[in-house]
Structure 1
Amino acid sequence: MIDFSEKSIVSLIGMAGAGKSTLAPLVAERLGWECVDTDHIIQSYYGQSLQEIVDRLGVPEFRIVEEKILSSFGARRTVVSTGGSVVYGPDAMERLKALGPVVFLKISQETCLSRIGGGDGRGLAMIPGQTVENLYEERQPLYSRYADFTVQTDKYSPEDCAEKIWQWLDTLKG
Structure 2
Amino acid sequence: MVVTLIGYRGCGKSSVGPLLARQLGCDCVDSDDQIEARAGKSIREIFATDGVDEFRRLETEVLTDLIAQDNIVIAAGGGAILAEVNRQRIQAAGPVVWLRATVETLAARICGDGTTADRRPSLTGKSVEVEVAEVLKARLPLYESTSSIIVDSDMATPQELADEIFSRLPSDAAEGKR
TM interval, shorter chain, is 0.7 to 0.9
1:23 aligns with one of 12, 16, 24: 16
Match of residue 75 from structure 2: 81
Identical columns (%): 34
Match of residue 2 from structure 2: 9
Q: Which moved more, 1:158-167 or 1:67-76?
A: 67-76
Match of residue 104 from structure 2: 110
Q: What is the TM-score with the length of structure 2 in the denominator?
A: 0.84
SS in 2 for 1:131: helix
SS in 2 for 1:121: helix
Match of residue 131 from structure 2: 131
Q: What is the TM-score with the length of structure 1 in the denominator?
A: 0.86
Counterparts of 1:153 and 1:172 in 2: how far apart (Å)? 25
Does the CA-based 8 Å contact 2:26-2:71 persist in structure 1? Answer: yes
2:141 is equivalent to residue 141 of structure 1:
yes
* Structure 2 residue ranges without an equivalent (≥5): none
SS in 1 for 2:156: coil
> How many residues end up aligned between the 2 structures?
167
User: How big is the alpha-carbon RMSD for the aligned residues of Structure 1 and Structure 2?
Assistant: 2.2
Counterparts of 2:43 and 2:137 in 1: how far apart (Å)? 22
2:35 aligns with one of 13, 33, 42: 42
Q: Deviations over 1:13-66 (max 9, x none)?
A: 001110000000000001111111111111111111121112222223322331
Q: Deviations over 1:43-100 (max 9, x none)?
A: 1111111211122222233223312332354111111001101011111121111111
Does the CA-based 8 Å contact 2:4-2:94 persist in structure 1? Answer: yes
Counterparts of 1:64 and 1:105 in 2: how far apart (Å)? 24
Counterparts of 1:82 and 1:124 in 2: how far apart (Å)? 17
Per the alignment, do residues 122 and 140 of structure 1 end up closer, same or farther by CA in structure 2, a change over 3 Å counting? Answer: farther
1:120 aligns with one of 110, 117, 121: 117
* Structure 1 residue ranges without an equivalent (≥5): 1-7
Cα distance, 1:121 vs. partner?
Answer: 3.2
Cα distance, 1:107 vs. partner?
Answer: 0.6
Specify the code of the residue in structure 2 equivalent to 1:132: V
- Runs of 4+ aligned structure 1 residues displaced above 3 Å come to 117-122, 127-130, 170-174
Specify the code of the residue in structure 2 equivalent to 1:150: I
Cα distance, 1:169 vs. partner?
Answer: 0.9
